[in-house]
Structure 1
């Protein structure tokens, strides 16, 4: 059984830098501005031969429970309670502060094992701060440099000593599970063009939650989890890092990504907000289904429409969630208006699923999850070549391709080249001459006849090979 380690300390001592060093990736946002991290971020750490779960936390500050800093501190204290070991990071370059001593006393009272870490020990003049750390009464500090990777061997030894070798190095019971069953491998899915694989209801699903600032994304995820896992509040822009959480819905593992609110590009000026938006974009590309959260009291802002368009251009499955439905005074009239606007303003996502919800009360969350599953099924859909060619023949009979420069275009053959999202290839004459209006006609026909609402559909056109091309004409 692995163990869990929480990294705590006052703001700007290098906790997120150490977190990134241990997980081997730049997952947490790092900036010189104090208080960048606000939520708990878990990760899988590797330190020499140690494997454990690491949790990055917000900087510990003294503040009232109703303030943003107070709510951040409550998240950090929850991480300490859940962890088996705490890394208490102090700044050896700057030296100890009264906050360090206050929170050192808090960690002593917690009764959990603590490893005192003196970060930035490579800096000139850090010796005084390092020796001053002894006064905290938490044992010998471990001098490290999270920025440059110095002192990691000493940190590994200190963790093993604090947690115990039995806990640090559990017996490996995974050897019996190393045999991999390849009988159900999907490598040969494309070998049979008429094969339509069934949707795997047990496969874990990655879902990203995006939207404008203060649309209620973190509140929505907290309601799904049934606990205050993510920091929320009336302030806009609380979330900065993209935080992933896992939970089960009707026996299926769902991995949800909470993201920072994305404003108009012209308004994003600060470096920290640019980093947050870039992290949100990475979450969209990593997810399978993306939920775009609208504020039902002020829906369909220009930024909302741009976010939907962004998700579709990235090829992700999209679902709309009209949040704060508990604040709507005339639900039936507003719902009819929202449906009309959805069809009119999002023609590129015809049939997209839109669900009224309330993250505050929990209204509509089961319906939202079912819409996510249904949309993911469509996103993974495969259609046999035989069905596609019968459809293509009937479509051309009903509405033949137009003639360009006096010569009629011919669509000869069609097949699906990939799923996630569905992409098709049509062999035809003069593909460059096919007008956009006819491509839209084919796309809308595919969407309607094969029941693929709300997902991006790609159609590629390819000229058929001419066996006589390149040969000299005989006289």
Structure 2
């Protein structure tokens, strides 16, 4: 079990750039303007032969009220309490500010071990700031350049004794040893992939701004892990958090609210939306969260359609259900609108929840697990071909130019989502309406509601039974002519 390192400091000192450098990927959003990071983002870092968990935090603000900066500061202070080591980052080019001194005093009094790093230390312009950092009373400052990767050797030397001490402590304390006894039975493999601690179920929560995505995830986690509030658009990064959801290992992604493309003008919001889209691509199940007061707006439909086009299993959740008075009439209207506006997801689970009170979260878990099971479903080839014969007998395929398209056989190529291939004649002339007829039949007859289904028509080269005979006769004729000439 590795130790945890929290990167803290003022806004715009390069914490997220250093975080990305340590994890080896551009996970955290980086921009020139201060205050980009708001939530806590965790990542698995590696520096030489040292492996550890690193936490990127929001910039420390001198605010203690219930404003957005005040809530961000409390979240960062919580990260300091969680971490085994704190890396306090200052800007070597700007020098030490009064805010740096205030938070250095807070860290000195904290229980965590503190390392001091002077970032942006490349060049002579940083020498004065590095010298000033000695006055913070946190020991020798480590000169770094997160952007250019300089000073990583010094950081490694500072972390090595911490890593060795933690490894020794883990050997002595069996509670800290990792649990590797997670057997997966062969029966589970045959039934489909089962989420484990090593490979948890990937769930992304998406929706418009202020739909309650972060509040919902906090309720699932049972703690205020993500920053929430009445302001729209608080979340910027796609934050992933692992947890146990009623016995199922899950990694849930909180994404930034997605507005209409025409309204997204700022570079930072574009980066946030792009980060959310990447989370959808990596997810297995996507929860599209709607606001019960204004459900199924145009942007909601676009987001749900995006998840379907990416081939993800989709669950539609309607939040703020506790504020509805006539729940029966509202639910009937929601189901009617769902079937009418999202026919490509007909049959997908529609769940009403309240992130504020926690009501309906058990039904949400059941819907997510069912959607994941359907997404992984595999149908035997023999059963598929018997079904195909019945579908063709009930409704024969079209006959372009008077020649009937023949459907020869069918098989399932892959799952996640279910992908079927039909071998047929004239696949390029198959009408979309008949393909939809087959897809709707698959949904109904094999209990695959809501999940994206891919159906491909593929041609098959037919052997001419007279080809070899014709070639043989042609060869005999040529020999006879050669003899006559001779």
TM-score by length of 1: 0.93
Mapped to 2, the partners of 1:4 and 1:368 lie a distance apart of: 32
> Is the counterpart of residue 231 in structure 1 residue 232 in structure 2?
no
Determine helix, strand or coil for the equivalent of 2:117.
strand
Note the C-alpha offset of 1:202: 4.5
Q: Tell me the equivalent position of 1:397.
A: 393
- CA distance in 2 between counterparts of 1:447 and 1:313 reads 17
Q: Say yes or no: does 1:310 pair with 2:306.
A: yes
**Structure 1 residues 91 and 384: CA distance shift in structure 2, 3 A:** same
Pick from 341, 348, 353 the counterpart of residue 349 of structure 2. 353
How far off is 1:178 after superposition? 10
1:184-207 Cα offsets, whole Å, 9 max, x none, are 599xx9xxxxxxx31344442110
Structure 2 unaligned blocks of 5 or more: 475-486
Aligned twin of 1:69: 69
**Partners in 2 of 1:268 and 1:233 — Cα distance?**
21
Task: Give 2:26's aligned residue.
Answer: 26
Higher helix share: 2
Greater mean alpha carbon deviation, residues 164-173 or residues 255-264: 164-173
Cα deviation code 1:209-252 (max 9, x no counterpart): 00011110000000001100000000011000111111112322
Structure 1 residue 465 and structure 2 residue 469: aligned? no
- Identify which of 405, 414, 427 aligns with 1:431: 427
Q: Choose 442-451 or 43-52, whichever is displaced more.
A: 43-52
Aligned twin of 1:193: none
Once residues 182 and 89 of structure 1 are traced to their aligned partners in structure 2, the CA distance between those partners, rounded to angstroms, is: 43
Matches within 5 A, 1:147-226: 147-161=147-161, 163=162, 165-167=164-166, 197-203=190-196, 204-226=200-222
Q: Deviations over 1:313-338 (max 9, x none)?
A: 00000000000111112111000000
Matches within 5 A, 1:448-463: 448-463=444-459
| 1:406 CA displacement | 1.0
Aligned to 1:326: 322
Contact (CA 8 Å) 2:408, 2:422: kept in 1 or not?
yes
Contact 2:195 2:250 in 1 (8 A): no
1: distance between equivalents of 2:234 and 2:170? Answer: 41
Normalization by structure 2: what TM-score? Answer: 0.91
> Any residues of structure 2 matched to 1:66-145 within 5 Å, and which?
66-145=66-145
The alignment status of 1:422 with 2:418, answered yes or no, reads yes
CA RMSD of aligned residues (A): 2.4
- Given that residues 93 and 124 in structure 1 are in contact (C-alpha distance below 8 angstroms), is that contact kept between their aligned partners in structure 2? no
Partner of 1:40: 40
Inter-partner Cα distance in structure 2 for 1:71 and 1:202: 34
70-79 or 243-252, larger mean C-alpha shift: 243-252
Aligned mates of 2:212, 2:185 — CA distance in 1:
44
1:156-197 alpha-carbon deviations (Å, 9 max, x no partner): 112234x373226677899999999999599xx9xxxxxxx3
CA distance in 1, matches of 2:418, 2:325: 39
Distance verdict in 2 for CA 1:180–1:328, change over 3 Å: closer
Contact 1:93 1:123 in 2 (8 A): no
The 5-angstrom pairing of residues 221-370 of structure 1 reads 221-370=217-366
3-state SS of 1:125 partner? helix
SS at match of 1:166: helix
- Residues 353 and 177 of structure 1: is their aligned pair in 2 closer, same or farther, counting only changes over 3 Å? closer
**CA deviation string 1:365-422 (max 9, x = no partner):** 1100110000000000000001000000001111111221111111110000000000
Select 1:443's aligned residue among 424, 439, 445.
439
Aligned equivalents of 1:290 and 1:360: distance in 2? 20
- Is the CA contact (8 Å cut-off) linking 2:2 and 2:163 kept in structure 1? no
Residues 308 and 157 (structure 1), Cα distance of their counterparts in 2 relative to 1, 3 Å cut: same
The 1:8/1:470 distance shift into structure 2, 3 A limit, reads farther
- Structure number, greater radius of gyration: 2
- Flag the 1:432–1:256 CA change in 2: closer, same or farther, 3 A: same
* Aligned CA distance change for structure 1 residues 149 and 256 (closer, same or farther; 3 Å): same
Distance 1:89 1:211 in 2: 34
Q: C-alpha separation between the residues in 2 aligned to 1:264 and 1:469?
A: 59
List structure 1 runs of 4+ shifted beyond 4 angstroms: 168-186, 469-475
Unaligned runs of 5+ residues in structure 1 are: 190-196
Distance 1:179 1:4 in 2: 23
Name the residue aligned to 1:192.
none
> Could you say what secondary structure the match of 2:279 adopts?
helix
Deviations along 1:419-473, one digit per CA (max 9) or x if unpaired, are: 0000001011101111111111001000000010011100111112211299596
Q: How many residues align?
A: 465
Quote the Cα distance in structure 2 between the aligned partners of 1:275 and 1:146.
Answer: 20
